[in-house]
């Protein structure tokens, strides 16, 4: 179970690379599926299943032939974990998601709106009321990858602020942060 030689190293690396590729393909499939592309999702899913069954058969047949080895299991798990990490990085790079961000604050002044505008965000403000009195609701439309910056700016002004976001579909018109021209 703890034997380690060149043969084990090769099979460990094969398992690692295969799992990494399988998880990356699965991440791309999930992104395409969320976007609603049924045909491309099915095609990618076919290849993902092909990789999965090939890896499973290869690893199990090797385990039956040579015995279960902890190094192959560890490399298999490491390939999965690194595949997830790289998949998330790829997802963030290729995602063009637009978000509607609602910022709810009890601060009566315009500090949040002013800071967001200074940093290039388009801001729309509403008045509201909640259980504890009057609230200010600020709406910003931005790319998903700008959400961290937006939250940081807002939390520096009001640490108790509530920030909620959701993905937009079919957006047209208006001012959007980090896009040079008006839509």
Q: Write out pLDDT tens, residues 5-18.
A: 787 788 888 888 98
Say if residue 171's pLDDT is above 70. Answer: no
Q: What is the 3-state secondary structure (H, E, C) of 112-126?
A: HHHHHHHCCCCCEEE
Interacting residues of 36 by C-beta distance below 8 A, sequence separation 6+? none
Q: State the pLDDT at residue 183.
A: 38
Q: pLDDT tier at 182 (50, 70, 90 boundaries)? A: very low
| Cα(131)–Cα(153) distance, integer angstroms | 26
User: For 65-79, what is each residue's pLDDT tens digit?
Assistant: 777 778 888 888 999
pLDDT value at position 181?
Answer: 44
How much is the pLDDT for 178? 58
Cα 5 to Cα 38: distance, rounded to the nearest angstrom: 45
Tell me the pairing of strands 98-105 and 133-143.
antiparallel
Domain spanning 98-168, CATH architecture: 2-Layer Sandwich (3.30)
Q: Where are the domains of the chain?
A: 6-94, 98-168
Predicted model pTM:
0.58
- Phi and psi at residue 152, in whole multiples of 5°? -60, -45
């Amino acid at each position: 179970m703890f034997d380690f030689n060149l043969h084990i190293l090769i099979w460990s690396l094969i398992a690692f690379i295969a799992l990494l590729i399988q998880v990356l393909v699965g991440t791309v499939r999930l992104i395409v599926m969320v976007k609603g592309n049924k045909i491309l999702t099915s095609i990618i899913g076919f290849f993902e299943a092909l990789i999965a069954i090939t890896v499973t058969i290869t690893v199990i047949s090797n385990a039956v032939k040579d015995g279960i080895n902890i190094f192959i299991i560890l490399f298999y798990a490491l390939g999965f974990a690194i595949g997830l990490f790289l998949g998330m990085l790829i997802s963030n790079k290729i995602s063009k998601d637009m978000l509607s961000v609602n910022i709810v604050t009890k601060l009566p002044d315009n500090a949040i709106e002013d800071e967001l505008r200074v940093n290039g965000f388009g801001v729309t403000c509403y008045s509201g009321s909640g259980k504890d009195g009057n609230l200010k609701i600020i709406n910003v439309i931005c790319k998903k990858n700008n959400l961290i910056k937006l939250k940081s700016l807002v939390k520096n002004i009001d640490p108790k602020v509530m920030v909620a976001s959701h993905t937009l579909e079919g957006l047209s018109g208006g001012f959007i942060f980090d896009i040079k021209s008006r839509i």
